Amino acid sequence: MGREIFCPACGDTVTKSDNNSPVLDFNCLRCREEYELKSSKIIFSRRIVDGAYATMIERLQGSNNPNFFLLNYSPRDYEVSNFFVIPKHFFVPEIIEKRKPLSESARRARWVGCNIVLQSIPQTGKIFYVKDKQIQQREAILQTWKKTLFLREEKEISAKGWVLDVMRCVDSLAKKEFTLDEVYGFEQALQAKHPGNKHIKDKIRQQLQLLRDKGYLEFKGKGKYRVI
């Protein structure tokens, strides 16, 4: 399958890694990005099951987690219904959910796995190659990838969490143009999430400014913004 997938970072073909690991890995020989493929007959919606919780958190903190390719296929004819990539820079601990430890009687007793909470990832963090069986434009895939690369510059995970929070707020407004007041509408929700922070509105403005500086948003003046 790797033969048909291009690397969303550089456009070159990705190759299946020839290792013996149980996961299906792909990498790009040109730009060295690494991808882990997960496939399922069931459409990925809210969350997906992943490996050990502790390993995942450790990898996130060391920024050596891979990008994820997620594939849904129809069990009848194996036709691809959805195929998308989640860039690794969208992974923060809060999207990793701890599962209940396995029981004492299990072979791996007390082992703790994790789920990746897909619905906590902003829209731009799910880049579709195929959506509802429709093939998406190659150029758009490459561009969307580039659009959020700035998140890699943010090494501090809590600071990155804030940018992602505000990106999600903008997503939920579901429109191209919006106002600062509309984003302030999420103040309470953000306050609940960050109870120690006394300056939520300042924090919102600061993230919007950052998103503007990084070319993710455009500032139209008078408290108006536009998603690029």
One residue of 1, 2, 10, 117 binding Zn ion per CB under 5 A: 10
Neighbours of 29 (CB within 10 A): 10
CB 3 within 8 A of CB 13: yes
- Rounded Cα–Cα distance for residues 167 and 94 (Å): 15
Sign of the torsion formed by the C-alpha atoms of 62, 66, 72 and 75: negative
Mask for 82-121, x = binds Zn ion (CB under 5 A): ----------------------------------------
The residue range among 20-28, 131-139, 154-162, 211-219 that interacts with Zn ion, by the rule CB under 5 A, is 20-28
- Rounded Cα–Cα distance for residues 170 and 178 (Å): 8
**Residues 100, 83, 78: CA angle, nearest 5 degrees:** 95
- Which is nearer to Zn ion, 28 or 127 (by Cβ)? 28
Min. distance of Cβ 15 from Zn ion in angstroms?
10
Neighbours of 198 (CB within 10 A): 9
- Interstrand relation of 34-40 and 67-73 (parallel, antiparallel or unpaired): parallel
Based on the shown chain and the rule CB under 5 A, indicate whether residue 31 belongs to the binding site for Zn ion: yes
Based on the shown chain and the rule CB under 5 A, indicate whether residue 142 belongs to the binding site for Zn ion: no
- Which is nearer to Zn ion, 10 or 57 (by Cβ)? 10
Based on the shown chain and the rule CB under 5 A, indicate whether residue 9 belongs to the binding site for Zn ion: yes
Helix (H, G, I), strand (E, B) or coil at 217: strand
Based on the shown chain and the rule CB under 5 A, indicate whether residue 7 belongs to the binding site for Zn ion: yes
The residue range among 2-10, 79-87, 111-119, 143-151 that interacts with Zn ion, by the rule CB under 5 A, is 2-10
Provide the binding-site residues for Zn ion, judged by CB under 5 A.
7, 9-10, 12, 28, 30-31
